[in-house]
A and B are shown apart, each in its own frame.
Chain A
Amino acid sequence: MIGVRIRSLDRRNAEGGATRVLGGIAFDMEGPGTLAILGRSGVGKTTLLHAIAGLETGFDGEITGVSGRVGFVFQSPRLLPWRSALENLRIVAPDRPDDELRAMLESVGVGDASDLFPGQLSLGMSRRVAIARALAVRPSLLLLDEPFASLDLATAARLRGMLGRVLSESGIPSILVTHDPAEALELADRIMVLGGQPAELRLDAAAADLDAEKLAASVAADQPG
């Protein structure tokens, strides 16, 4: 079981003072399934995800139960531009043979791009490579930060379909950060809404009990002060 307990997380601001980004946030995750974290942009979703991944330290609280490796799909693909797609996977998963990594690229739909540099790929393809990289490490937890941002609708829809299939096939527990209620409803089993400043949990429910209107209203109720 993965446990997230954050009492407070502060960020230094431009004036040299500290701004409290996250307030009391506590939840547990049990077994496989996808948890979506919704909220307006700037509310602290990414910060929360970074804290869970161990990239954000120095907060008051603790993250427990994250054993093994974490797969992280960042908001931008963040591939190494001087290494081919396949090499980008090999660098994080040096223990896996190339044919397995190629199969991984194949399964996210970029099998023919394995020897290309990221600069030769479209954003949609780069995102697919980034998802393959996250899966290549055999993660015990998969974290996805707005994986469909800045894509045109059709590409985003195709990518969403692919990700939904991969998530349900692999059964890896995953957390998806998004601002889009429809995306959360399509991919997640459980949905949380972050709101307020500092951000707190506003809603935590099974996706089956929610609908797009209810979610949109919950997100819209939180306006930046």
Chain B
Amino acid sequence: MLALWLIAAAFSDPQTLPGPGRVLQVIGREAASGELWTHVGVTLLRVAVAFVIAMAIGVAVGILMGLSRRADRALDLWLVFFLNLPALVVIILAYVWLGLTETAAVLAVAVNKIPNVVVTMREGARALDAELDEVARVYRVPFTAKLRHFIIPQLAPYLAAATRSGVALIWKIVLVVELLGRSDGVGFKLHVHFQLFEIDAILAYALSFIAVMQAFEWLVLRPLERRANRWRQA
């Protein structure tokens, strides 16, 4: 990918497509001034808060819909509605109704993500093993223990899927939210540099954030998954 970038950059105007060296230089400059850390940090915080809200609500509603046919029927219409509601509409309405505030920004992102989590977790809850449920019932396993030893291990692959696709989707939407109504964060910086047509800075911020997300994948998600899947390898 790096080679492709080098070749493409060599043949194009450095204004439109700066080479990796130039972008690295900008990253260094922004990091030294502290700008990079501030904006990446702010964006990361928004991603984290929106992610926690979306997962908490999405997992709870998804499991409820997967286990209870009545809940599924009652909520399905809402699910389809939110699933097909364009992200941009949610963001605009959130800003109009709640003002250009932090709450509106994070909420808009969470609302965009919740339906996806619900869909994934509903499938997971539907696939829960009825035979193991009978074991829990006959041995009167208390609810918290049942959750920990019976339900969560079965839902782990679905949680991992929701987390991975969730983080990726959320950070993209956070950028749009920042672009439209925040005065800090990576999305705001992209907006500023776009207006000045500084492609090198745009690439610098985008790549820095991708690096942060990659680190999250390698340092948090992978080890967690390895732990959850120990019994499969044994």
Q: Using a CB–CB distance below 8 Å, which chain A residues touch chain B?
A: 50, 53-55, 69-70, 72, 74, 76, 78, 80-83, 87, 91-92, 94, 116-117, 119-120, 133, 137
Contact = CB atoms under 8 A, between A and B. Distances in A.
B131 A78 contact: yes
A54 B140 CA distance: 11
A120 B135 CA distance: 20
A120 B132 CA distance: 19
A82 B231 contact: yes
Interface footprint category on B: 10 to 19
Main DSSP-derived SS at the A contact region: loop
Contact of B149 (A69, A74, A83, A117): A83
Contacts of B132: 78, 80
B153 interface: yes
A74 to B, nearest CB: 7
B233 to A, nearest CB: 9
Interface in B132-162: 132, 134-135, 137-141, 145, 149-150, 153
A54 B234 contact: no
Contacts of B137: 54-55
B153 A80 contact: yes
B138 A117 contact: no
Given A80-B153, A94-B145, A117 B139 contact: no
Given A91-B149, A94-B145, A120-B234, A74 B135 contact: yes
Question: Which of A53, A87, A91 gathers most chain B CB within 10 Å?
Answer: A91
Interface of B: 131-132, 134-135, 137-141, 145, 149-150, 153, 228, 231-232, 234
Contacts of B228: 82
A120 B149 CA distance: 19
Nearest to A76: B131
Contacts of B231: 81-83, 117, 119
Contacts of A81: 231
B147 to A, nearest CB: 12
Contacts of A54: 137-138
Most buried by B among A81, A119, A120: A81
A53 B149 contact: no
A87 B141 CA distance: 13
The residue among A70, A80, A87, A117 with the most chain B CB atoms within 10 A of its own CB is: A80
Contact of A116 (B138, B145, B234): B234
Contacts of B234: 116-117, 119-120
B131 A72 contact: no
Nearest to A134: B139
14 contacts: A53-B138, A72-B135, A74-B131, A74-B135, A78-B134, A78-B135, A83-B149, A83-B153, A83-B231, A87-B149, A91-B149, A117-B234, A119-B234, A137-B139
